[in-house]
Amino acid sequence: MGYLVYSSDNDAGEITDFGGIRCHIDDASDGTEDGNLKFFTNKAGTEVSRMGLASGETVFNEDSVDVDFRVESDGHAHALFLQASDGIVKMQTTNDDPAFNNQTGVSIGSNNGSALAGVGQFSCNGGVALRANRVMKLVQLLLFILEVLKKEC
């Protein structure tokens, strides 16, 4: 449907596409139209998908590039942080294990090969470190955190 490309010269004087926005039709049926919008940038000289907006989902880093994902809040630069190198989601911290570092925050994931099926640590004062096996969905963990915070904090 359309592609907007942002190009410039690289340091060798070659015209290079550094980013782009692509839109295409997923479904053109009257009354059920669906579109798809994707944002691309160059990473190490290769075009990679950074964000895709489809009718049924929003996807970040679909090409699985080693690029961190960060959401800021009013008081935290790392309110929500996904470190791409180890795949662990953290809240209000970038430390590897906030519960053991006495830092405030949440760490969710499993990078130590353990097969824990549930929660490893919880503390309202010092932080939260949750470890789960890869089968457990992130949404389930986030719902659990919200439930525990309502009861315990």
Q: 65-74 pLDDT, tens per residue?
A: 888 888 888 8
Give the start-to-end residue ranges of the domains of the chain.
Answer: 2-60, 69-152
- Please say if the pLDDT value at position 8 is more than 70: yes
pLDDT category at 150 given cuts 50, 70, 90 is low
Better-scored residue on pLDDT, 101 or 89: 89
Q: Please, what is the average pLDDT of the chain? A: 74
Tens digit of each residue's pLDDT (9 = 90 or more) over 99-148: 434 344 445 443 443 433 344 444 444 444 454 444 445 666 667 777 76
Better-scored residue on pLDDT, 20 or 147: 20
CB 120 within 8 Å of CB 133: no
Q: How many helices (H) and strands (E) does the chain have?
A: 2, 10
Burial class (CB in 10 A: 0-12, 13-18, 19+), 94: middle
Whole-number Å distance between alpha carbons of 5 and 68: 24
Whole-number Å distance between alpha carbons of 130 and 20: 37
Whole-number Å distance between alpha carbons of 39 and 53: 9
Looking at the DSSP assignment, which residues form a beta bridge with residue 19? Answer: 6, 41
In this predicted structure, what is the pLDDT of residue 107?
Answer: 53
Instruction: Determine phi and psi for 27, rounding to 5 degrees.
Output: -150, 120
Better-scored residue on pLDDT, 151 or 113: 151
Look at 41-45, 46-50, 58-62, 140-144 and tell me which has the smallest mean pLDDT: 140-144
The DSSP call for residue 75 is S
